[in-house]
Amino acid sequence: MLVAVMVFLVWLTWAFFNKSFTNYDNVTLTGVKAGLSLPENADIKLRGMIVGEVRKVEVKGDDVNFTLGMNPKLIDEVPADVSAQIVPKTLFGEKYISLIPSETPSGATLKAGDTIRGAVVPIEFEKLLNDIYPLLTAVEPENLATTLSAFSTTLEGRGEDLGNTLVTLNNYLEKFNPETQGAVDDLIKLGELSDSYADDLPTVGRLLRNSVITSNTVVDKRTELAAFFDESRHLSDVLTTLFKASGNDMVAVAAQSVTPLGVGAKYAQTFPCFFKAYDRLIDERLDSVFRGLTLHIDLEMVSPQPTKYIIGEERGRPSPPGEHPIIPKQSVIDNEPMANPDVHGIRDDGTGGPAGLGTVCDDLNKFAAGENPWSQANPWPGPPAETWKMVGLKNSHNQKFGPDSAFERAAVASLQAAGYYEPSLLGVDSPGQRAELNRIAAATTGVQVDDVPDVASLLLSPVVRGAGVNAR
């Protein structure tokens, strides 16, 4: 009986020690390893206060599950999003679980059956000793003792100096530490720059090799280069003299060229058609007409001949009133369709004449391509009378420049009555005019003036006066 009572008392004491009569709210904590010396019944603390104890440690492969018995009265004070660390109470003491609240708590609290994941075990002093143990065993004790004795002798009596040195070093480090990140960034950029230089070194090498070749060429050609520089100096002196003498004129010419260049730009699109037609005219017509230094034509006289255009005084008579060459204003030219290279087609007045300069260019392109749109039987109608009147004409000149109805008939009749215009120019050459025609024929054919036949003036007179000629 006494033995049974003693056994009961021992069991009761053990039960009280293991808190078998205490109720807990169990929570699971997972980790990758167990902390050394973490026993069952180890404390669980939150901000230094014990809120439970470890009830069970269970190892499953590389993972460890801890059953945490939380005090039912305090579990509502533990946030649900806490993390856990296994830390020692002292340097070599047993460990406990420290619950660390989140910096941004959610407001929920821990409840029975919850799981806290990822227990963290800080670096332990035992691990430090385990890591340093191979080093200690590799050093012979007597050599270590000699080294430590020499080190101790060296430091003996120099503690204050060593302390001042450490203080000074600390001051340097305090000033150096803020610049550390900048130094690291500079080193990184230096590495990137070095990589760029390494990538470009082959190009730099080729450049240096080419520079050597160039330098050798300069050395070999130094005599020619010296002569070139002397000539350049001489040329610069000449140009300096030229520009001093004509510089203002060049500036004036450049300024005055703006308007002509603008006009040229406007009509530039007509230049190709004119030159192509002119080239065909020379190749197929003029070369044939003047072959062998002899004029070859079939002359068909047109009657009545166009009357001549009188400029200035003639035979002591004043120039005809109102009929003299004029240069229209630019605004007048811009409004004239015949002066516009963008106007194509024919006029709608029934004459079949060109509506604008673009039509003339189209005809020239046809002629250059081998097609002749006009002939003696179907002559080119020409521009309208308004275009001729724009440059000062007051007479149709026997309808060469349009119908008589387009001009002032009264003025024409008065001029004809005064003897300015003859209805026909056939056989009206004066002796002076025939002599001038003979000189033209002599210069063209390469013979002496006295050897020119009388028929030459008869053939050339209609051409000079504007007669229609069919050259074959």
Domain tally, the chain: 4
62-92 per-position pLDDT tens digit:
778 888 888 888 888 888 888 888 887 776 6
pLDDT of residue 423: 46
156: in domain:
no
On whether both 296 and 348 belong to a single domain, the answer is: no
Residue 29, pLDDT score? 86
Q: Is the pLDDT of residue 472 over 50?
A: no
Q: Are residues 277 and 385 in the same domain?
A: yes
Query: 28-32, 223-227, 318-322: lowest mean pLDDT where?
Result: 318-322
Q: What is the 3-state secondary structure (H, E, C) of the chain?
A: CHHHHHHHHHHHHHHHHCCCCCCCEEEEEEECCCCCCCCCCCEEEECCEEEEEEEEEEEECCEEEEEEEECCCCHHHCECCCEEEEEECCCCCCEEEEEECCCCCCCCECCCCCEEEEEECCCCHHHHHHHHHHHHHHCCHHHHHHHHHHHHHHHCCCHHHHHHHHHHHHHHHHHHHHHHHHHHHHHHHHHHHHHHHHHHHHHHHHHHHHHHHHHHHHHHCHHHHHHHHHHHHHHHHHHHHHHHHHHHHHHHHHHHCHHHHHHHHHHHHHHHHHHHHHHHHHHHHHHHHCHHHCCCCECCCCCCCCCCCCCCCECCECCCCCCCCCCCCHHHHHCCHHHCCCCCCECCCCCCCECCHHHHHHHHHHHHCCCCCCCCCCCCCCCCHHHHHHCCCCCCCCCCCCCHHHCCHHHHHHHHHCCCCCCCCCCCCCHHHHHHHHHHHHHHHCCCHHHCCCHHHHHHHHHHHCCCCECC
Q: For residues 120-146, give the mean pLDDT.
A: 70
Residue 212 lies in a domain: yes
What is the structure's pLDDT at 426?
A: 42
State which residues form the domain around 437: 291-304+428-472
Span 373-379, average pLDDT: 77
Residues 220 and 365 in one domain: no
Together in a domain, 326 and 295: no
Most confident of 12-16, 230-234, 283-287: 230-234
Residues 299, 235, single domain; the answer is: no
pLDDT in tens, 230-268: 999 999 999 999 989 888 989 998 899 888 888 888 888
Q: Are residues 443 and 417 in the same domain?
A: no
Q: What per-residue confidence (pLDDT) applies to 413? A: 58
Residue 391 within a domain = yes
* Residues 281, 386 share a domain: yes
pLDDT confidence of residue 86:
82
Residue 142 has pLDDT above 70, yes or no: yes
User: In whole numbers, what is the pLDDT of the chain averaged over residues?
Assistant: 78
pTM: 0.40
Least confident interval from 37-41, 192-196, 313-317, 371-375: 313-317
Please indicate, yes or no, whether residues 316 and 393 belong to a single structural domain of this protein.
yes
Is residue 19 scored above 60 in pLDDT?
A: no
212 plus 284 within the same structural domain = no
Residue 297 above 80 pLDDT? no
232 domain-assigned: yes
Most confident of 289-293, 362-366, 387-391: 362-366
| pLDDT given at position 425 | 42
> Does residue 333 register a pLDDT over 70?
yes
Domain for residue 31, yes or no? Answer: yes
| Domain presence at residue 155 | no
322 and 232 in one domain? no
Q: What is the pLDDT of residue 299?
A: 65
Q: What is the pLDDT of residues 448-463, one digit of tens each?
A: 888 888 777 777 776 6
Residue 373 is predicted with a pLDDT of 78
302 — pLDDT class (breaks 50, 70, 90):
low
Residue 285 placed within a domain: yes
pLDDT tens-digit readout, 417-450: 555 554 444 445 667 777 888 888 888 778 888 8
* Co-location of 203 and 214 in the same domain: yes
**pLDDT value of position 17:** 53
Higher pLDDT, 199 or 152: 199
- Please give the pLDDT value at position 130: 67
Q: Give residue 123's pLDDT.
A: 60
In a domain, 395, yes or no: yes
pLDDT in the model for residue 264 = 86
Between 96 and 133, where is the model more confident? 96
The answer to whether residues 407 and 285 belong to one domain is: yes
Residue 10: the pLDDT is 57
335-349 confidence digits (pLDDT tens): 888 888 999 988 888
Which pLDDT value is given to residue 471?
A: 46
